[in-house]
Amino acid sequence: MPFISVIVTAHNRREYLRDAVDSVLNQTIDDYEIIVVKNFKDEIDDYLKENGVKSVLVGDQTQGMDVISGLKEARGEVISFLDDDDLFLPRKLEKVKEVFQDDNVGHYHNAYENFLDKTPNNLDKIHIKKDYDYTIIDNQEKVKKFKFMMNTETEINSSSISIRRSLFNNSFSYLEKINHAVDVFMFYLALMSEKKIVVDPEVLTLYRIHSNNTWFYMNDDFENWLEHKKSYMEKEIEDYITMLNMIKSSSFEIFIKEYILDLKLRLARLPSPYNNSKYKATIKDYIAYYNRYKSLRSLLSNLTAFTPSFIRRKLVKKWYQDERSSQEKIVQVSKIKNST
């Protein structure tokens, strides 16, 4: 029986999947299984079978349902996740196995590094650590260290997450509704459990930057960006409402409510017709935001939602340009260089 089950999810994208699978096959331990959940048939199917990889064919469904489909096939006590366009470094699962020898650990997040499109050919020579300490957070410290976990991005990047399978007990009815924030969903599962969260500064996962990233959306067309931004934020709100229903009356409820509020106010700032959303901000929302942050500058920024659409378009264009500049900076400072 394998100790670790690695679930690789692939939705429509085919070009990087073999590289992702190979990065799991080339681990320094062998006490694991690989399950690929994908919504297409491809010539890679023979390769997967030859290498003992389980392949689960699914239809058009939420990312949460993709995870459930993989979990139903998994035999491991610990589940590690990998997106089809990302990579594990060779020591990833060795470290996962080491961490989960402590039965009280429920969630482990290793650091990740960006790389540009082409798969590096020197994965075994990449050794990077972030500038924070290896941290074990027990149940009593989770609220106190919530900000630290946000600052170290513990809640994001599925390919950096390993979680004890038992934490998924009784969660499928919520997980199946999650559109794309499965990483955040697993983070809140860990917060709600009594088990420890481990935050590791060692880079064991590589995040591929390319034109089809869901989060790292690169598009030169402003109208396309507006449409993507509206759709993405609406799905984020839906996901967080699902998580809010799951953790009602917990100490972490306030963090989800704050994020939903922020998303609603951001949607309201989009120009017409992109601000026409079922998640409309109310006057009560603006008051709640101001009372929470006591920032006149932020309040004035959000009140631009009440200006004519042509003014909002100009203001949001600045938002778009800032986001593009930020993305370009991320591309420029990526530490993992392509090797020839």
Q: What residue spans of the chain are helical by DSSP H? A: 17-25, 44-50, 63-73, 92-99, 146-151, 172-175, 182-192, 222-246, 253-269, 283-293, 296-302, 309-333
Domain match, 297 and 202 both:
no
Where residue 83 falls among pLDDT bands split at 50, 70, 90?
A: very high
Lowest mean pLDDT among 50-59, 101-110, 281-290: 281-290
Residues 229, 177, 17, 76: is their CA dihedral positive or negative? positive
Residue 35 domain-assigned?
yes
Residue 81 domain-assigned?
yes
Domain match, 190 and 238 both:
no
Position 339 scores a pLDDT of: 44
Element (H, E) at 80: strand 78-83
Q: Is the pLDDT of residue 109 over 90?
A: yes
* 243 vs 331: which has the higher pLDDT: 243
Where residue 63 falls among pLDDT bands split at 50, 70, 90?
A: very high
Residue 142 domain-assigned?
yes
Lowest mean pLDDT among 152-156, 157-161, 261-265, 282-286: 282-286
Task: Say how many domains are in the chain.
Answer: 2
The CB-side HSE value for 92 (13 A sphere, CA atoms) comes to 34
Residue 217 domain-assigned?
no
Lowest mean pLDDT among 69-73, 204-208, 262-266, 323-327: 323-327
Residues of the chain with pLDDT > 90, as a percent, come to: 77
Residues of the chain with pLDDT > 70, as a percent, come to: 96
Where residue 216 falls among pLDDT bands split at 50, 70, 90?
A: low
Domain match, 43 and 154 both:
yes
Residue 170 domain-assigned?
yes
Tens of pLDDT, residue by residue over 7-25, are 999 988 889 999 999 999 9
* The model's pTM: 0.94
CB 196 within 8 A of CB 173: no
Domain match, 189 and 240 both:
no
Helix, strand, or coil here: 246? helix
Where residue 291 falls among pLDDT bands split at 50, 70, 90?
A: confident
Residue 340 domain-assigned?
no
Position 217 scores a pLDDT of: 65
Q: Which residue do the tokens 């075994």 mark?
A: 124
Q: Is the pLDDT of residue 76 over 70?
A: yes
Domain extent at residue 252: 222-328
- Residue 180 corresponds to which tokens in the numbers above? 């794309």
Q: Is the pLDDT of residue 220 over 80?
A: no
Position 297 scores a pLDDT of: 75
Domain match, 175 and 324 both:
no
Q: Is the pLDDT of residue 308 over 60?
A: yes
Domain match, 73 and 201 both:
yes
- Over residues 131-147, the mean pLDDT reads 97
- Domain with 117 in it: what CATH number? 3.90.550.10
